Amino acid sequence: MTKTRLTRPCVEHLTPYTPGKPIEEVQREFGLTDIVKLASNENPLGPSPKAVEAIRRAAGDVWLYPDNDCYHLRLALSEKLGFPGDQILLGHGSDELIHNIGLAFLSPGDEVMMCSGPFGQYEFTAKLMDGAPVYIPMNEFRYDTKAMAERISPRTKVIFIGNPNNPTGTIVTRPELAELLPAVPDSTILVMDEAYHEYVDDPDYPDALALVRDGRRAIVLRTFSKIYGLAGLRIGYGATTPELADALDRVREPFNVSSIAQAAALASLQDGDQVERTRRLNRESRDFFYREFDRLGLKYTPSYANFVWVDLGRECRPVFTELLRRGVIVRTGDIYGAPTHIRVTTGTPPQNREFAAALEEVLEAG
């Protein structure tokens, strides 16, 4: 009997997302108790105490559906970002917002531009909508905005720029973005994914929100998962033009942000000290990694995020496995097309030291 195809053809070409190994899995697999997880760019300080308290207060009302419009959080973000509430985007993680960009704007055959070795959700969204991913090779692990400008075509519907970029930690500077903008037509949506923007301390980092203020067809995405330490609650946000915001709202799932996530995010915005503590720890941790990598003779890419991209000079998978045996979880670079690299998240000083000692031991063992 001939079976009828049930799935859309494009679904057969999708690769499910592979997250960093969870702590519990490594504990079971290797019989370990103490694990250092530096794989998923989480905040090692955890969430603000104010957010934790807000979660406790909100827990008693989980039998009620959440506020579909996220009124109080939207109001706070409107004040923070300087846009009317109807231009604020909210989703269960910025991943959902990226997914909704595909649902709202991509038709079969539309080109979706991204860098080579991109954050996986850009590629996934393009393929899910039968779009055509266009990969622009990076130049020393940085976006090549000149090459991007030259490759834009009448079919280019969306351009994704991670700024800072995951997994390399590099940024597109203000002059580089200015070089690209004249080539971006009004028929193309520029998406600036700024999940790690709070970690950037470079004066040449561009103000992406200015693109929206200027009326460009641009979308700026941010998240509470990283510096705010709310990865487990899945809440992302952003801003765009009224036209694009309206389209994204039409494809949004109802009640897409949980009541607990809304309460925690709102409380997090009121704790600037937590953000500053996290920034300070991140700077110290990056500097520690740089010193250790220099000592071990490893090449690395200076980072503007809370992780560092380092070249081991050998296949990363065996090193990754040996680090797991020692209770240290990192992210392999082969999934990004860089088989000798790993990405390591900045941690607390003890976590960083444990990673460095384990890496040295693995590399010396050959």
- Helix then strand then coil, in percent of the chain rounded to 5, is 45, 15, 40
- The dihedral region occupied by 266, where left means phi > 0, alpha psi between -120 and 50, and beta the remainder, is alpha
The answer to whether residue 1 sits within a structural domain is no
Q: What 8-state DSSP symbol labels residue 152?
A: -
CATH code, domain carrying 55: 3.40.640.10
Quick check: 91 and 100 in contact, CB under 8 A?
yes
The answer to whether residue 4 sits within a structural domain is no
Q: Which residues contact 202 (CB under 8 A, 6 or more apart)?
A: 171, 173, 304
What is the pLDDT at residue 244?
98
**Of 251, 268, 285, which residue constitutes the final position of a domain?**
268
- Letter for the amino acid at 83? F
pLDDT in tens, 202-212: 999 999 999 99
Residue 258 exposed, middle or buried by CB count within 10 Å (0-12, 13-18, 19+): middle
How far is residue 269 from each of residues 45, 162, 264, measured CA to CA in Å?
Answer: 16, 23, 9
The residue segments making up the domain with residue 314 are 9-46+272-365
Residues 159 and 300 in one domain: no
End-to-end CA distance of the chain: 54
Residues 37 and 54 in one domain: no
Q: Measured between alpha carbons, how far is 29 from 44 in angstroms, rounded to an integer? A: 23
Torsion sign (Cα): 315, 317, 318, 323: positive
**Assigned token pair, 7:** 């799935």
Bridge pairing between strands 111-115 and 132-136: parallel
What's the gap between Cα 21 and its chain centre? 17
CATH code, domain carrying 340: 3.90.1150.10
Q: Measured between alpha carbons, how far is 345 from 237 in angstroms, rounded to an integer? A: 22
Dihedral pair phi/psi, residue 311, rounded to 5°: -95, 120
Residues 41 and 60 in one domain: no
Strand partners, 135: 114
Residues 259 and 360 in one domain: no
- Consecutive 10-residue averages of pLDDT for the chain (366 residues): 76 80 86 93 97 98 97 98 98 97 98 95 95 96 97 98 98 97 98 98 97 97 98 98 98 97 98 96 98 98 98 98 96 95 98 98 92
**Of 206, 237, 268, which residue constitutes the final position of a domain?**
268
Residues 182 and 296 in one domain: no
Q: Measured between alpha carbons, how far is 63 from 58 in angstroms, rounded to an integer? A: 10
Quick check: 171 and 304 in contact, CB under 8 A?
yes
pLDDT in tens, 54-74: 999 999 999 999 999 999 999
Residues 292 and 326 in one domain: yes
As a whole number, the mean pLDDT across the chain is 96
Residues 285 and 326 in one domain: yes
Q: Which residues contact 133 (CB under 8 A, 6 or more apart)?
A: 111, 112, 114, 122, 123, 126, 127
What is the pLDDT at residue 1?
57
What is the pLDDT at residue 11?
85
Quick check: 319 and 331 in contact, CB under 8 A?
no
Quick check: 112 and 189 in contact, CB under 8 A?
no
What is the pLDDT at residue 241?
98
Q: Measured between alpha carbons, how far is 46 from 308 in angstroms, rounded to an integer? A: 19
pLDDT in tens, 236-252: 999 999 999 999 999 99
3-class secondary-structure state, position 169: coil
Altogether, the residues listed in the chain come to a count of 366
Residues 151 and 258 in one domain: yes
Residues 157 and 195 in one domain: yes
